[in-house]
């Protein structure tokens, strides 16, 4: 039996020239095997620290390009309790529609549709750029990773020490003083 020839192409950045795909018309598609450098800073709380990889498919719907894919990368975040940096393996599912700004056949500018986000526009050179969509997805998907570990004790609200590594007596003292108050009340 003849082996199916793979159409997957390794692609090393987040930009795709979709001129030919738009010309090919409805139902035509491209598969890519993405291996892309880290895009670095995702937002104030997270950085991508590994390359990202995974399959991506671009389908021509006629007028637009629909992108689906699954990408994964390692993201460094800071713990919401103790502020220490930790790493999380983040996976995103892409499902995004991209709109041409130039008609591929006539070369004329297409009218801007009011509800289309700028990050979902294919530029005048027919380049579809996934960068901003991917960055936002990694931020969103990374939000489930909030703490360095499930039972992170966080920082002491009184003295500010990291209670994971440097336990203090502040809370104990608080409880003690509450008991003392109760005892005083009950004795009266
Ligand atoms: Zn923590
Ligand atoms: Zn303390």
How large is the C-alpha radius of gyration of the chain? 26
> Could you tell me the pLDDT band of residue 8, with boundaries at 50, 70 and 90?
confident
Closest ligand, as measured to the CA of 85? 1
Which of 134, 141, 143 is closest to 38 using CA atoms? Answer: 134
Closest ligand, as measured to the CA of 154? 1
> Could you tell me the pLDDT band of residue 187, with boundaries at 50, 70 and 90?
low
Neighbours of 128 (CB within 10 A): 24
| Residues less than 5 Å from ion ligand 1, measured at CB | 79, 81-82, 148, 152
Q: Give ∠ CA 38-92-126 in degrees, rounded to 5.
A: 70
- Give the C-alpha separation, 25 to 22, whole Å: 5
> Could you tell me the pLDDT band of residue 171, with boundaries at 50, 70 and 90?
confident
Q: Is the pLDDT confidence value at 170 over 50?
A: yes
Closest ligand, as measured to the CA of 172? 2
pLDDT in tens, 76-129: 999 999 999 999 999 999 999 999 999 999 999 998 777 899 999 999 999 999
Closest ligand, as measured to the CA of 159? 2
- Domain positions in the chain: 9-152, 153-188
Q: What's the gap in Å between 169 CA and the centre of ligand 2?
A: 6
Point out which residues pair with 100 in neighbouring strands: 122
Point out which residues pair with 122 in neighbouring strands: 100
């Amino acid at each position: 039996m003849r082996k199916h020839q793979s159409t997957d192409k390794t692609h090393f950045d987040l930009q795709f020239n979709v001129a030919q795909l738009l010309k090919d018309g409805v139902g035509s598609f491209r598969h890519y095997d993405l291996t892309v450098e880290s895009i670095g800073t995702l937002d104030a709380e997270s950085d991508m620290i590994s390359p990202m990889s995974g399959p991506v498919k671009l389908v021509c719907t006629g007028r637009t390009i629909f992108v689906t894919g699954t990408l994964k990368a390692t993201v460094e975040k800071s713990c919401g309790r103790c502020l220490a940096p930790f790493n999380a393996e983040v996976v995103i599912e892409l499902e995004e529609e991209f709109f041409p700004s130039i008609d591929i056949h006539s070369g004329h500018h297409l009218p801007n549709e009011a509800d289309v986000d700028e990050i979902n526009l294919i530029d005048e050179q027919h380049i579809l750029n996934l960068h901003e969509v991917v960055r936002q997805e990694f931020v969103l998907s990374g939000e489930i990773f909030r703490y360095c570990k499930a039972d992170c004790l966080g920082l002491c609200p009184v003295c500010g020490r990291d209670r994971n590594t440097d336990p203090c007596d502040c809370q104990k003292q608080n409880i003690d003083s509450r008991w003392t108050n109760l005892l005083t009340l009950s004795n009266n």
